[in-house]
Each structure stands twice: as C-alpha cells, then as structure tokens.
Amino acid sequence: MKELALHTLRCRPGTAVFREGEPGDCAYLIERGRVEITAELGGEKRVLGSLGPGQVLGELAVIDNTVRSATATATEETELTVVRREQLQMRLDAAEPVLRLLLKVILERFRHERRFLRGNGADGDPGGDPSPPAGREGDEGALGKIKLESELWRALSQEELELYYQPIFDLARRSLIGFEALLRWNHPERRLVLPNEFIGVAEESALIVPIGRWALLESCRRLREFQEAMDATAERRTPLLMCVNVSGRQVADPGFVRDLATIVQQTGVDPQRLCLEITEGVLIDYPSALSWIEQCRAIGATVALDDFGTGYSSLSYLSRFPIDKLKIDRSFVQAVPDDPKSLAIVRAVTQLAHGIGLQVVAEGIEASEQLSALTGMSCEYGEGHLFSPAVGFDQALRLLGQPLL
C-alpha cells in the first residue's frame, strides 16, 4: 500500500485497506479500482460486497467511533482518497440536529441488524430481538424539536394559538396609541406557552409562514374591533396602531405581500395603522428585505426595526432601508437611568433616529425613572410592564378607556 500524499492511497491487488477489529479513524473514497468487503461469520470468511469508483468505505467506524466491523481488500490496482475523521466530524457537527439524529437512527438500525445477522450465523447466538434499540441521551433535544413541530402544526389547525396585546403608549401625552400583537399558545397539557419556547422551532421549519399569516390576519381583525370600541367610547376618534412581528422566513416568502394586501382588503383596516416589525438580522440575512419593505410600504403599512442594539446596530442600515420606526431593545432601556453607558447609548440612538426622520419606541419600560429619562430624551413611544404586560383581547379592550398610570 503506497501513500502518495496525505490524502491519497494507492493499493496493489490483495492489500488490505483496513482489517476487521482495527480502530477506524478515516473513511475512503474509491477513485479507481475495486475493493472487496469481507467479514468473519461463524469462523468463515464471507464476502459482504464489492465496491468500485465513486463509492465510499469505512465511514461507519468513523462516524460511530468504533473499530472496523469488516475487512476491506483491494482486488485490483486501486486508488483511494482518504477522508479524515475531522472532515466528517466537522460536517456532522454542523448538520441540522434533526438530520443528525435521523442519520444516527439509521446507523443504529443498520448496526443492530448486522449484529442480529452475525448472532444467527456466527457463534450460535440467536441475536435477540431485531428491533433497533431506543434513543440515547442527547437525542432528546432533536426529538423534542420534532415533537414540538408536530404539536405546532396541530396548534395551528386546532386554533390553540392566540394573540396577546402589549399596549404601546405615547410617552409625552401618556395615552395609549395601539398594541403589539404577541403570540401565545394555549397548549392542552402545558398551560400558556410563551413564544420563546416555540418561535425558534417554527422559524427553523417553514411553519412560521402559516403561523405568521394567521397572526397577521387575526391582528388586523382585532384592530378593527379595538378601533370600533375606541370610537364608541372616546370623544375624539383616535386611530389605533397594530404592530405585528415578522420573521425572516416570512420576508423571504414570495406570497407575503400578496397575503398582506388581501388581509388589508378583507378586514378593511387602514394599512397605515399597521406596523410590521423586523429585526436587523433580517435586513442582513435576506437580500430580498429591501424590496419587501418597499412593497409593504407601497401597500401603506409602516416598518419598524425591532430589538435595536442587540444585533449589529449598524447605522448604515438605518439610512439604506426605508424604515419608519426604531424599537430600542429592552436590555438598554432597563439599564436606564442608573447605567451611564446605557443612558448615553439610548440618548445617542434616539437623537440619531430623529435626525434621519425615524420615530423611536422604547421597549420594556418597567420603572417610572426609565419613563422620565426617556420622556426627557423626547422618545415618542414606549411599551413595558410599567403600563401593562401583554394581555388577552378582552383585557386589552378594557385598557382602551383607562388613563395611563
């Protein structure tokens, strides 16, 4: 066997590439020639197969981190490319967890069947039950994801999803201007589930698209109802705003803009009272974001940049994209006014936003000192537990007529 370079092997006919029982630290890709795979079964050498150019051998022991379960012998002049353990491991580590789990299950089943066959043939061991062994520790994350994803499909079709409404206030006037619609899941066994437990899984799969479509429709329907209730009680008609969170996958969905137009038309809401919230990450990761924003704004909706300060906080994005509002993340707001750095950041961001014609919404206002500091900076709007947490529709309706604080 001749090693041409670190990654290439040339074998003469009859040379073993590897032997059964040896540690397996690399796999091989056959460039030319043929390799026969044999194993000892019941004291007898059995041929399991013959592999040719383009085929891979030895991968099982590498992925499984076990010894070779068979012997591989070149049957003619053969050239092999060596695939090192790290090369495979790197790809396995980077693979999507559910795919990785599926690969593991397939390998486990394959290994188990092989053991079963050997048991029957080799040493008289009947081999036991051919059913594959149960999952191991560490698979729970991936299994949990698949389960959650299936449950979410059901949640959508069984109407287990609900929107809660976080009031948004005009800080100077101390009056309610609208709501941010936030998803909640009325899980049949697990009480009310918050979005941080399921939005990630919905975003990883395509599920966020139908869920987001539902949230958009539901929030527009509710906006009509809020507005009608407001008009009936208030002396002066104050148009309310509805803010809806939109994920990157929805921005990339070619049907989004059409759905938005249909929903606006069906529900009869004034599109200018609809604000779509996206994060900076969406602007960076989705090349279609600019045209998406332009199309949504052409329909009449406004667009806000959510969680500002947590991502790249790239100032160039603020001028490059036609955005209407900036939402300062609550991690900065909550450090105001005690932490001088956060105070300086919030002040600078607010001034900058105003300088380029954006309105500012402060997220997560919990204390009156935060409210005073933000009002002092002429920050226009705010939301947070100081005013109210996100509440169900009926409770939100009751907030319409109430004075703030």
User: Does residue 220 touch ligand C2E according to CB under 6 A?
Assistant: no
> Residue 399 binds which one of ligand C2E, Ca ion, none, with CB within 5 to 8 A depending on kind?
none
Which of 5, 93, 196, 403 is the binder for ligand C2E (CB under 6 A)? 196
User: Does residue 253 touch ligand C2E according to CB under 6 A?
Assistant: no
User: Does residue 17 touch ligand C2E according to CB under 6 A?
Assistant: no
User: Does residue 218 touch ligand C2E according to CB under 6 A?
Assistant: no
Q: What is the DSSP letter of 41?
A: E
Nearer to ligand C2E, 325 or 330 (CB): 330
Residue 355, judged by CB atoms within 10 A of its CB (0-12, 13-18, 19+), counts as: exposed
CB of residue 308 to Ca ion, shortest distance in Å: 8
- Tell me the C-alpha distance between 404 and 35, whole Å: 79
Which of 253, 280, 307, 383 is the binder for Ca ion (CB under 5 A)? 307
User: Does residue 383 touch Ca ion according to CB under 5 A?
Assistant: no
User: Does residue 62 touch ligand C2E according to CB under 6 A?
Assistant: no
Nearer to ligand C2E, 219 or 350 (CB): 219
Which of 30, 183, 220, 230 is the binder for ligand C2E (CB under 6 A)? 183
- Tell me the C-alpha distance between 127 and 117, whole Å: 7
> Residue 20 binds which one of Ca ion, ligand C2E, none, with CB within 5 to 8 A depending on kind?
none
- Tell me the C-alpha distance between 233 and 217, whole Å: 25
User: Does residue 245 touch Ca ion according to CB under 5 A?
Assistant: yes
Nearer to Ca ion, 218 or 307 (CB): 307
Nearer to ligand C2E, 26 or 193 (CB): 193
Q: What is the DSSP letter of 365?
A: -
Given a contact cutoff of 8 angstroms between Cβ atoms, the answer to whether 149 and 205 are in contact is: yes
CA distances from 109 to 101, 249, 251, 336, 368 (A): 12, 35, 40, 57, 61
- Tell me the C-alpha distance between 108 and 100, whole Å: 12
Q: Are strands 56-57 and 26-32 parallel, antiparallel or unpaired?
A: antiparallel
User: Does residue 195 touch ligand C2E according to CB under 6 A?
Assistant: yes
For residue 50, how far is the Cα from the chain centroid?
Answer: 43
- Tell me the C-alpha distance between 232 and 221, whole Å: 17
Binding segment (CB under 6 A) for ligand C2E, from list 20-28, 69-77, 220-228, 243-251: 243-251
- Tell me the C-alpha distance between 320 and 306, whole Å: 16
Q: Amino acid identity of 249? A: R
User: Does residue 306 touch Ca ion according to CB under 5 A?
Assistant: yes
Binding segment (CB under 6 A) for ligand C2E, from list 12-20, 44-52, 95-103, 362-370: 362-370
Q: What is the 3-state secondary structure (H, E, C) of 95-144?
A: CCHHHHHHHHHHHHHHHHHHHHHHHHHCCCCCCCCCCCCCCCCCCHHHHH
CA distances from 400 to 21, 161, 183, 315, 385 (A): 75, 23, 20, 36, 16
Binding segment (CB under 6 A) for ligand C2E, from list 21-29, 194-202, 259-267, 312-320: 194-202
Nearer to Ca ion, 219 or 245 (CB): 245
Nearer to ligand C2E, 78 or 279 (CB): 279
Q: Give the footprint of Ca ion on this chain (CB under 5 A).
A: 245, 277, 306-307, 363
List of residues contacting ligand C2E (CB under 6 A): 166, 182-183, 194-196, 199, 212, 215, 245-247, 306-307, 330, 363-366, 383-385, 390
